Amino acid sequence: MNPVLALLLRIPVHGVGMLVACLPRSWEMALGGFLGRVALLFNSRHARVARENISRCLPHLSAEEQKALLRANYEHYGRMVLELSHMFAPVPGHFRRYVVANVAVEGYENWTKAAARGKGVLFLGSHLANWEFAAAVGAIREMPITIVTRRLKPAWLHDWMERTRLSVGVRAAYQPRTIPTVMKALRDNGGVVFVMDQYMPPPMGEPMRLFGVMVHTLAAIAPLARRTGAAILPVLPKRMPDGRVRIIIEPEIPLGDDDKADNQRLADRVETWMRENPDQALWAHRRFKDVDWGARRT
């Protein structure tokens, strides 16, 4: 990126970070909801995707209920954007303090039980509530966390996110070194986070049933657990009405004897989360590519 344009972009990004750092949490939640409603008016492309996903995945909802859900979903996006903006506040230690003040962990004993086996842990995650919170609070609670993610552009944005994540103890695995980084983390008895609610093309993705249709979904978790002996722990982030976020570490999901069946059970868990917390799901993502909705099974 042109250095001048990069500088011009950094000014508002860090400016918003400083702004939200000064806001009481209740004001931040109210402002985020307002910004989400404004975005719904102008973000037509993503709003169309969200509207289509909601109507197809939750057809039992009336038209008015779907409209209300879309509005609540965009309010969630507005709040999440302000939450993520705290990562860009140029104040040392701010993001850690913010997470500690606003995020709680439940089910920590499920982590300690799984980690006691010494084979590492694979966290089944999703883009519900705030996934950065889930990783950050886990690392702050002394879980060795590695997230599997993508590099961001421009480079300065990626470097800043990397520094902020490392400031709370979160490491990341990127292509083309994803597998070696993941394997090292598991050998060190760490926790590796995979999200399973995004479209994943072959070869990493395989068709699985989600909301009644077959769609390509990440297929690496069950085979990796079988190969390494790592435990699989589902992690549900959930924003509460008062703005606090609960990170719920659920009991281990045991493996069966078939990778495809095991991965389908993981996908079923993610679908359950989305059905139970539809306002906080990532409906604006083009999750259902090349899907035959006419062949849907209920």
pLDDT tens digits for range 116-166: 999 999 999 999 999 999 999 999 999 999 999 999 888 889 999 999 999
List all residues 6 or more positions away from 269 whose beta carbon is below 8 Å from its beta carbon. Answer: 124, 234, 253
Is the confidence at residue 2, as pLDDT, over 80? no
List all residues 6 or more positions away from 146 whose beta carbon is below 8 Å from its beta carbon. Answer: 170, 171, 172, 173, 181, 182, 185, 190, 191, 192, 193
> For 235-252, what is each residue's pLDDT tens digit?
999 999 888 999 999 999
Predicted TM-score (pTM) above 0.85: yes
List all residues 6 or more positions away from 292 whose beta carbon is below 8 Å from its beta carbon. Answer: 213, 214
pLDDT, average across residues 159-182? 94
Per the CB < 8 A criterion, the answer to whether 35 and 75 are in contact is: no
> For 10-60, what is each residue's pLDDT tens digit?
889 999 999 999 999 999 999 999 999 999 999 889 999 999 999 999 999
List all residues 6 or more positions away from 180 whose beta carbon is below 8 Å from its beta carbon. Answer: none
CA dist., res. 169 & res. 195, Å (int) = 19
Question: Sign (positive/negative) of CA torsion 17, 23, 29, 34?
Answer: negative
Closest CA to 119 of 259, 233, 268, 1: 233
Is the confidence at residue 298, as pLDDT, over 70? no
Domain boundaries, the chain: 3-295
Is the confidence at residue 294, as pLDDT, over 90? no
Per the CB < 8 A criterion, the answer to whether 110 and 251 are in contact is: yes
Strand partners, 194: 124
